[in-house]
Amino acid sequence: MNLLLVTLFLPLIGFFIILLLPRNSKAPFTAALLITLATFLASLGLIGPVVRNGSQVSSAVDWLWISSPSMQIHFHAGIDGINLWLVLLTTLLLPVAVWMTNSVIAEDRRKPFFALLLLFEFGIVGVFSVLDLFAFYVFWEVALVPMYLLVGSFGGPQRVAAAMKFFVYTMTGSVLMLTCILYLHHLAGTFDYLEIYSRLASGQAVLGPEQQLLLFLGFFAAFAVKVPIVPFHTWLPATYTEAPAPATFLLAAVMSKMGTYGLLRYAVALFPAGAHHYARGIATLAIIGIVYGALLALIQPNIKRLIAYSSVSHLGFIVLGLFTFTQQGTDGAVYQMVAHGLSTGALFLLAGYLEQRRGSMEITDFGGIASSAPGLATAFLITLLASIGLPTLCNFIGEFLVLQGAALTKFSWAVWAAIGVILSAAYMLWMYQRTFLGKPNARNASFPDLRGADWISILPLIALMVWLGCYTQSFLPPISAATSRILEQNRQNEEYRVQLPTQVTELRHER
Amino acid sequence: MNDSLVVPLAVEYLRLLPEIILSVFGAAIMMLEAALSPKSNKTGLGILALVGIALAFLGNNIAYSQPGPAFHNMMTVDAYAAFFRGLVLVVGFLCILASFHYLQREGVQRGEYYALILFSIVGQCVMATAADLIMVFIGLEISSIATYILAGFVRDDRRSNESALKYFLLGSFATAFLLYGIAWIYGISGSTNLKYIHTYLTDQTQIPSILAGLAAALIFVGLAFKVSVAPFQIWAPDVYQGAAAPVSAFMSAGPKAAAFAVFFRIFMTSFAPLNQRWIPVVWGCALLTMIIGNFAALVQTNVKRLLGYSSIAHAGYVLVALTSYSQVGVAAAMFYLFSYALMNIGAFAVVGYVASRHEQFVRIDDLAGLGRREPVIAGLLAIFVFSLIGVPLTGGFFAKFYVFQAALDSHLVWLTVIGLINSAIAAYYYLKIIVAIYFKEPSENIARLEPPSVGTRVAVWASALGTLFLGIFPSALLSFASVSAATFR
List CB contacts (< 8 A) between A142 and chain B: 391-393
Average pLDDT over residues B358-372: 85
B51 in reach of chain A (CB within 8 A): no
Per-residue pLDDT, B486: 87
pLDDT at B6 over 80: no
Answer whether A208's CB lies under 8 Å from A216's CB: no
The alpha carbon of A88 is separated from its chain's Cα centroid by a whole number of angstroms, namely: 12
Tell me the nearest-neighbour CA distance from A105 into chain B, angstroms. Answer: 16
User: Which residue from B23, B10, B98, B101 is spatially nearest to B62, judged by alpha carbons?
Assistant: B10
Task: Give percent of chain B above pLDDT 90.
Answer: 69
Closest alpha carbon within chain A to B376: A19
Grouping H, G, I as helix, E, B as strand and the rest as coil, residue B405 is helix
Percent of chain A with pLDDT strictly greater than 90: 59
pLDDT score of B489:
65
Mean of the pLDDT values across residues B365-386?
91
Q: How many CB atoms lie within 10 A of CB A202?
A: 8
Which residue among B328, B404, B427 places its CB closest to the CB of A168? B427
Q: Per residue in A53-105, pLDDT tens?
A: 878 888 888 888 988 877 889 999 999 889 999 999 999 999 999 998 988 88
- Give the model's pLDDT for residue B447: 66
Contacts of B328 in chain A (CB under 8 A): 70, 511
pLDDT at A497 > cutoff 70: no
- Taking only the tens place, the pLDDT of each residue in A127-177 is 999 999 999 999 999 999 999 999 999 988 889 999 999 998 999 999 999
Average pLDDT for residues B109-117, to the nearest whole number?
91
First to last CA, chain A: 37
CB B409 to CB A509 under 8 A? yes
Q: A interface mutation test: which of B373, B410, B425, B438 has the most A CBs within 10 A?
A: B438
- The residue-averaged pLDDT of B428-456 equals 85
Tell me the average pLDDT across B73-98. 94
Residue among B392, B393, B409 minimizing CB distance to A186: B409
Contact A171 B416 (CB under 8 A): no
What does the DSSP 8-state code read for residue B364? G
A137 contacts in chain B (CB < 8 Å): 392
Taking CA–CA distances from B329, the nearest residue in chain A reads A70
Instruction: List own/partner pairs for B151-155 with CB under 8 A and 24 or more apart.
Output: B151/B239, B151/B242, B151/B243, B151/B247, B151/B251, B152/B243, B153/B108, B153/B113, B153/B116, B153/B243, B153/B244, B153/B247, B154/B106, B154/B108, B154/B244, B155/B108
Bond from prior residue into A440 cis (ω within 30 degrees of 0): no
CB burial of A280-294 (b: ≥16 within 10 Å; e: otherwise) equals eebbebbbebbbbbb
Of B331, B397, B416, nearest to A179 by CB-CB distance is: B416
- Long-range CB contact pairs, A446-454, < 8 A, 24+: A446/A372, A447/A357, A447/A358, A447/A369, A447/A372, A447/A373, A447/A376, A448/A357, A448/A372, A448/A373, A449/A372, A449/A373, A449/A374, A449/A375, A449/A376, A450/A353, A450/A373, A450/A375, A450/A376, A450/A379, A453/A99, A453/A103, A454/A103, A454/A353
Whether A70 contacts chain B with CB within 8 A: yes
Q: Which residue of A has its CA nearest to B332?
A: A70
pLDDT of residue A503 exceeding 60, the answer is: no
Question: In the predicted model, what is the mean pLDDT of residues B151-161?
Answer: 87
Per-residue model confidence (pLDDT) at position B275: 86
pLDDT averaged over every residue in chain A: 89
pLDDT band at B338 (very low <50, low <70, confident <90, very high): very high
Does A210 lie at the interface with B, CB-CB under 8 angstroms? no
Contact with chain A for residue B451, Cβ under 8 A: no
B176 close to A (CB below 8 A): no
Of the CA atoms within 13 Å of residue B124, those in its CB half-sphere come to: 34
CB of A185 within 8 Å of a chain B CB? The answer is yes
Whole-model pTM above 0.90? yes
Rounded to 5°, angle at Cα A254 from A296 and A433? 40
- What is the per-residue pLDDT for A105? 85
Model confidence band, residue B110 (pLDDT cutoffs 50, 70, 90) = confident
Q: Tell me the shortest Cα–Cα distance from A99 to chain B, in angstroms.
A: 24
Q: How confident is the model at residue B3 (pLDDT cuts 50, 70, 90)?
A: low
pLDDT at A203: 79
Indicate yes or no: CB of A153 within 8 angstroms of CB of B328.
no
With contacts defined as CB-CB under 8 Å, which chain B residues touch A171?
Answer: 389, 424, 427
Q: Do A511 and B421 touch (CB under 8 A)?
A: no
Strand, helix or coil for residue B75 = strand
Segment B352-371 mean pLDDT: 85
CB contact under 8 A, A138 and B421: no
Q: Does B487 touch chain A (CB under 8 A)?
A: no
Mean pLDDT of B126-130: 95
**Closest alpha carbon to B270 in B215, B324, B221:** B215
What digits encode the pLDDT tens for the residues A103-120?
888 888 889 999 999 999
* C-alpha to C-alpha distance for B143 and B92, rounded to whole angstroms: 12
Q: Chain B partners of A66 at a C-beta cutoff of 8 Å? A: 398, 473-475, 478
In the prediction, which pLDDT does A505 show? 41
User: What distance in Å separates residue B82's CA from the closest CA in chain A?
Assistant: 19
- B contacts of A153 (beta carbons < 8 Å): 371, 438-439
The minimum CA-CA distance between B415 and chain A, rounded to whole Å, is 11
Instruction: Tell me the one-letter amino acid at A165.
Output: K
Collect all residues of chain A within an 8 Å Cβ-Cβ radius of residue B479.
67-69
Please check whether residue A257 touches B, CB under 8 A: no
CB A453 within 8 A of CB A29: no
Closest CA relative to residue B150, chosen from B254, B48, B229? B254
Does residue A381 belong to the interface with chain B, where contact is any CB pair within 8 Å? Answer: no
CA distance A238 to chain B (A): 16
pLDDT at A498: 47
Q: Which residues of A touch B380 (CB under 8 A)?
A: none
Chain A residues inside the 8 Å CB shell of B367: none
Higher pLDDT, A313 or A443: A313
pLDDT at B54: 96
Cβ pair A361, A302 in contact under 8 A: yes
Residue B427 touches chain A, beta carbons under 8 Å: yes
Please give the mean pLDDT across all residues of chain B: 91
A507 part of contact set with chain B, CB < 8 Å? no
pLDDT digits (tens, 9 = 90+) for B7-52: 788 888 999 999 999 999 999 999 998 888 877 888 889 999 999 9
Task: Mark B120-145 as b/e (b = at least 16 C-beta within 10 Å).
Answer: bbbbbbbbbbbbbbebbbbbbbbbbb
- Digit-coded pLDDT (tens) for A446-477: 888 888 888 988 999 999 999 999 988 888 88
Distances in Å between the alpha carbon of A354 and those of A65, A412, B342, B469, B470? 46, 39, 47, 44, 46
The residue in chain B having the minimum alpha-carbon distance to the alpha carbon of residue A174 is B424
Residue of A68, A168, A183 with shortest CB distance to B408: A183
Choose, out of B413, B422, B431, the residue to mutate when testing the contact with A (most A CBs < 10 Å).
B431
Q: What is the pLDDT of residues B270-287, one digit of tens each?
A: 888 888 889 999 999 999
B392 vs A138, A149, A160: nearest CB: A138
Q: Does residue A511 have a pLDDT over 60?
A: no
* Helix ranges restricted to H, B41-157: 43-65, 79-106, 111-129, 133-151
**Quick check: A167 and B408 CB within 8 A?**
no
B74 phi and psi, to 5 degrees? -75, -35
Question: In A, which residues are within 8 Å of B396 by CB distance?
Answer: none
How close B331 comes to chain A (CA, Å)? 10
Give strand pairing partners of A58.
A79
CA-based nearest distance B472→chain A, Å? 9
Q: Among residues 344-373 of chain B, which lie with CB inside 8 Å of chain A? A: 371
What share of chain A in percent tops pLDDT 70?
96
Q: Examine residue A231 and say whether the peptide bond preceding it is cis (omega within 30 degrees of 0).
A: yes
What ipTM did this prediction achieve? 0.91
Give, as one character, the DSSP assignment of residue B435.
I
Which DSSP state fits A255? I
Locate the chain A residue with the closest alpha carbon to B372.
A109
**Cβ contact B420–A142 (<8 Å):** no
The CA distance from A229 to the nearest CA of chain B, in Å, is 20
Cβ of residue A451 closer than 8 Å to a chain B Cβ: no
